[in-house]
Amino acid sequence: MSLPLAGRHVAVLLGGLSSEREVSLVSGAACATALENLGAKVTRVDAGRDLAQVLTALKPDVCFNALHGAWGEDGCVQGVLETLAIPYTHCGVLASALAMDKARSKAVLAAAGVTVPGGGLFNRFEAARDHVMPPPYVVKPNAEGSSVGVFLVFDGANRPPQELVAPSWTYGDEVMIEPYIAGLELAVAVRDGKALTVTEIVPTTGFYDYDAKYAEGGSRHVVPARMPQEDFDRALRMAELAHAALGCRGVTRSDLRYDPVKRLLVLLEVNTQPGMTPTSLVPEQAAHLGMAFDQLVLWIVEDAYARDIAGGRAR
């Protein structure tokens, strides 16, 4: 029996230019191996500024976009792929750009009826001088992922994080500052508009930062999350609504916070190209529902093909 992708040439875009490059290399390697197992001809492409020339020479049938962060996840690479008329996985230009901008995506989500945290955008120098809201609160770059550049300012802190004005800061002059929601860290994967399940994330470091996400033993995942069924279902519906409101397609992951005392559930952000590393949440949720990693990767590629054949690739 022939393999599902036999004869297909898939270019796996990985690495890239962002601060999330290392994570993307791991995601891309895992997806490339899965595609080879499925019979595809795979070319691993470290996506740099010459991406258009590289892909023009390669002429792949489809691109599996395993990039994370700026350039690969914010609509830029998607625009290149649209121009080259190459089918590609995950979200289109508009949804990618919108979801990456935390301030604008929050406005769209709130208008659609999704509960989001308060707060707003502040100049990083202003935010470093004095508290712009009473602690505890969270400071994060407006257009980064993987908890890069994120700080939790605890109740009683004398001053804001001075890393905001350090010469090493490279995440832009605007930062998103939101009130900290006590309680549980949750994640919900959405595939083809339908939520999979809810994962409860228990960081071993006390805060779900970059290390907790990607380091071995940095966090423990409880699937399904331990919460009342009514709130569990609410988290599923909220992730589906967010996916639709931003115009997403394929697979996304919504990150939420849940205060079990107040029964408060808020959606923090939508990730349009969720991690596909050994510790990633989306493959784990798919496996919980009986879908192996290779099957998930196959579905993502087939979804890209289906949109291309139907002529419905979002711009």
Residues with a known catalytic role: 20, 146, 214, 253, 255, 269, 271, 275
Cα angle at 249 between 301 and 28, to 5 degrees?
A: 45
Nearest to 137 by CA among 120, 123, 125: 120
Q: What's the maximum distance between 2 C-alpha atoms anywhere in the chain?
A: 66
Q: Which two tokens stand for residue 307?
A: 């949109």
DSSP string, 139-169: EEETT--TTTT-EEE-TT-SS--GGGGSTT-
Distances from the Cα of 216 to the Cα of 12, 174, 212, 220, 240, angstroms: 25, 32, 8, 10, 30
Q: What is the CA radius of gyration of the chain?
A: 19
Distances from the Cα of 189 to the Cα of 12, 100, 281, angstroms: 22, 17, 8
Bond into 136 cis (ω within 30): yes
